[in-house]
Structure 1
Amino acid sequence: MALKIQGNILVDAPRDRVWKLLFDPQVLIAMANKIPGVEVERLAQIADDQYDGAATIGVAMIKGKYQGTITVLEKHAPEFVKFRGDGKSGGNWASGDMALTLAEQDGKTQMQYEGTGNVGGMLASVGQRLIDSVGKHLIEHGTRALAEELAAQSKK
């Protein structure tokens, strides 16, 4: 079952700083834990371009404890990065790609995002409309939390 997302956010921080913070596991944990229904238990860098983690994600009737990896597929500092995430929870799985394009704008960063995701197992049986709704909820709150956390961290 596929999900597509796209949009943009303005981050109140310079692009070079935003770029650096995007790869900091502690910043990513703080950001993700601001999303309603998400609790990251761990996220660790295990290779130059790979992270391993565990999180409980639950919105409405969709909830699970996921183990997974995030891999950087492509990056051109400080303007473009493409990630792939894969996670499993019991008989359920989720995977997706996300591309971020960063542009400097008056000392701030315009971040354009575009991605696709897929889910399978019992999770896919809840229906496309619910999956779309939950996906949009997580992305909406996630991008807002990302912008807030990056701005806060850049001031430290």
Structure 2
Amino acid sequence: MKNIVYILAVMFLGMILLAWNPYPDTKENPPVSLEGVWELVNYYTYEDNNVTDSFPNAEGYRQVKMYQDGKVMWTRKVPQDSTQWYGYGKYLSTDTSLVETLEYGSASMMKIIDTSRIFSFELQGGKDWFRQISINEDGNRTFSENYIRIR
């Protein structure tokens, strides 16, 4: 009787180990696709690579990003300020990184583009959300913009 229990236990353990897959199939867990339209919902600040604070958009503030066929365009509305903010360029993303290379933008954005066109981020996300995280020169997370899919 003990041998039968032992054999059944080994068979059961074997079935569990065969069913467990440490490398999920990409069809079940597809990489984050940025294709679509996204809205900024809030921000995180980091210390020692951990979120230390979060804060929502100011009243009336709105920022939208659109990704399609390797191109990115974004626009920002700040009700308290008449300065226009928008930009256009190309992007590359992997499961863990996002690089935007801006070609042109509003006058206020062109001042930034004239000194730095390439913006690199750590990327985290899911089907309907993503987070672009700024990394400092020491490789530490500092700040993130957090988006939800709106289309």
Larger radius of gyration: 2
Of structures 1 and 2, the one with the larger relative CO (CA 8 A, separation 6+) is: 1
TM-score by length of 1: 0.38
